[in-house]
Amino acid sequence: MMKNETLLNIANEFGNPVYVYDAHKIEAQYKRLSSAFNKVKNVKINYAVKALSNISILKFMNKLGAGLDTVSIQEVKLGIVAGFKPEDIIYTPNGVSLHEIEEVAKLGAQINIDNLVILEQFGNAHPDVPVCIRINPHVMAGGNTNISVGHIDSKFGISIHQTPHILRIVKNTGMRINGIHMHTGSDILDIEVFLYASEILFETAKQFKDLDFIDFGSGFKVPYKRGDIETDIEEFGEKLTTRFKTFCKNYGKELTLAFEPGKFLVSEAGYFLTKVNAVKQTTSTVFAQVDSGFNHLIRPMLYGSQHEIINISNEDGKERFYSVVGYICETDTFANNRRIKEIKEGDILAFKNAGAYCFTMASNYNSRYRPAEVLWYNDKAHLIRKQETFDDLLANQQIIEFNTLSKANK
């Protein structure tokens, strides 16, 4: 965990608001997951780019030995720029055109398809390109319906009940299926539920005779507040390892066991630092108003997510109750009635667990600038993205001179 003094120094050096990522925590999480499956001969950890896509973070993941899990052709290209070999990138889109999938195939990434129609079209056009299939096991392993994607009404994956359709398409097109994949969603609370979903995946995998890997997705829960529960990775690793090794023995081939963690690797490594603009007392609430909003950190408003907020400018202060709100001209609440060390104007508040799905979901709403990003590595702060400027807001806009147009029309 980074020291408050270090975070304050970063806020002073780079301004605020600012995102800070602890590279050492990312590495520790990567090693923890690797260690949990160290008894499996072939393990591949594909970092989910959508969680945090800064190019320096991707290069660091490459340094650790990870592959990449991508959901768009742009993420694939970012991975290649970051130094990843195309064969170390899996591409799992949803709702994209056949054209985009074909363009990614040209780049050499592993294709993962979750639509029967697209599977047949791609198989007919490119039977020699190996394809992974994303299965929907109809199991909800996550606790939040907004981030659980394995349920029966999900738009993701091909239903396990449609396996006969898959097999018919494979036979008719002569295409090769080299992987089977599932992702049930985030915040897995119950290991047994995930293992149950894994059994469904194993049963499906038996029907494909030329697999190279099975991808179990991810969704491991991380603690968001004091006393919060998290996925027991060590217990999960032990139980799934036993089952996976048995499957490989019966399958007659050593397959690769793949995961695609995003939040697990980067969430706890992230801090979001904001400055208190004002403290506002109303008849019932004390508001701490900060120089940010859901344009920078949308998770609390979008998902109801809770991020622990600490006043790093007043470590020893007395706790009071505050509602922390932003400067966006809408309801813009980070926390309601939260116990935080006494806050005054100018204090720096740190939001924890700000590494995953935070900056990547930021916007320019209200014409506000997106913040800087800093990587803490080897006891030094490295700027990995500059804060935007007014010129950035105008960069892609084409300005019409209406006076000139009016004269031309006369």
25 occurs within a structural domain: no
**Contact predicate 11/387, CB 8 Å:** no
Which whole-number Å values give the CA distances from 18 to 11, 267, 371, in the listed order? 7, 15, 5
Structural domain boundaries enclosing 314: 270-393
Residue 226 pLDDT level (bands cut at 50, 70, 90): confident
Position 69 scores a pLDDT of 98
Q: Say whether both 277 and 254 belong to one domain.
A: no
- 399 CB-near residues (< 8 Å, 6+ apart): none
Strand partners, 20: 271, 374
Alpha-carbon span 289 to 287, nearest angstrom:
6
Residue with tokens 């991508």: 70
pLDDT digits (tens, 9 = 90+) for 270-325: 999 999 999 999 999 999 999 999 999 999 999 999 999 999 999 999 999 999 99
Position 127 scores a pLDDT of 97
CATH no. for residue 168?
Answer: 3.20.20.10
Output the DSSP codes for 136-179: E-----BS-TTTB--STT-SSSEEGGGHHHHHHHHHHHT--EEE
Residue type present at position 248: C
How deeply is 404 buried, as exposed, middle or buried, from its count of CB atoms within 10 A (0-12, 13-18, 19+)?
Answer: exposed
Residue 191 pLDDT level (bands cut at 50, 70, 90): confident
How many domains is the chain partitioned into structurally?
Answer: 2
Q: Say whether both 315 and 374 belong to one domain.
A: yes
pLDDT at 186 > cutoff 90: no
Domain boundary among 261, 292, 310: 261
Domain boundary among 261, 295, 311: 261
84 occurs within a structural domain: yes
Q: Say whether both 214 and 295 belong to one domain.
A: no
CB-side neighbour CA atoms (13 Å) of 280: 13
Q: Say whether both 243 and 186 belong to one domain.
A: yes
Domain boundary among 261, 292, 321: 261
Alpha-carbon span 247 to 374, nearest angstrom:
43
184 occurs within a structural domain: yes
18 occurs within a structural domain: no
pLDDT digits (tens, 9 = 90+) for 97-143: 999 999 999 999 999 999 999 999 999 999 999 999 999 988 765 55
Q: Write the DSSP symbol of residue 279.
A: E
Which one has a higher pLDDT value, 185 or 4?
4
Position 323 scores a pLDDT of 98
Alpha-carbon span 310 to 217, nearest angstrom:
32
Active site positions, annotated:
329
- In percent, how much of the chain has pLDDT > 70? 94
Q: Say whether both 63 and 163 belong to one domain.
A: yes
Q: Say whether both 222 and 306 belong to one domain.
A: no
pLDDT digits (tens, 9 = 90+) for 153-172: 678 899 999 999 999 999 99
Kindly report the average pLDDT of the chain as a whole number. Answer: 93
Q: Say whether both 100 and 227 belong to one domain.
A: yes
How far out from the chain centre does Cα 140 lie? 18
pLDDT digits (tens, 9 = 90+) for 7-16: 999 999 999 9
Alpha-carbon span 112 to 258, nearest angstrom:
13
6 occurs within a structural domain: no
Residue 150 pLDDT level (bands cut at 50, 70, 90): very low
Q: Say whether both 244 and 285 belong to one domain.
A: no
Residue 220 pLDDT level (bands cut at 50, 70, 90): confident
Which whole-number Å values give the CA distances from 152 to 114, 181, 221, 323, in the listed order? 14, 16, 22, 37
Q: Say whether both 254 and 277 belong to one domain.
A: no
**Contact predicate 68/51, CB 8 Å:** no
pLDDT digits (tens, 9 = 90+) for 22-56: 999 999 999 999 999 999 999 999 999 999 999 99
Residue with tokens 């299926």: 177
What SS3 class is residue 262? coil
Residue 223 pLDDT level (bands cut at 50, 70, 90): confident
pLDDT at 144 > cutoff 50: no
Residue 48 in tokens: 């989910």
What SS3 class is residue 123? helix
Residue type present at position 317: G
Alpha-carbon span 63 to 384, nearest angstrom:
16
The predicted model gives 66-71 an average pLDDT of: 98
Q: Say whether both 250 and 304 belong to one domain.
A: no
Q: Which of 192-201, 264-273, 399-408 has the lowest mean pLDDT?
A: 399-408
Q: Find the DSSP H helices in 213-287.
A: 233-251, 263-266
Stretch (H or E) spanning 36: helix 23-36
The predicted model gives 173-197 an average pLDDT of: 84
Position 401 scores a pLDDT of 87
Q: What is the pTM of this model?
A: 0.93
49 occurs within a structural domain: yes
Position 151 scores a pLDDT of 47
pLDDT at 147 > cutoff 50: no
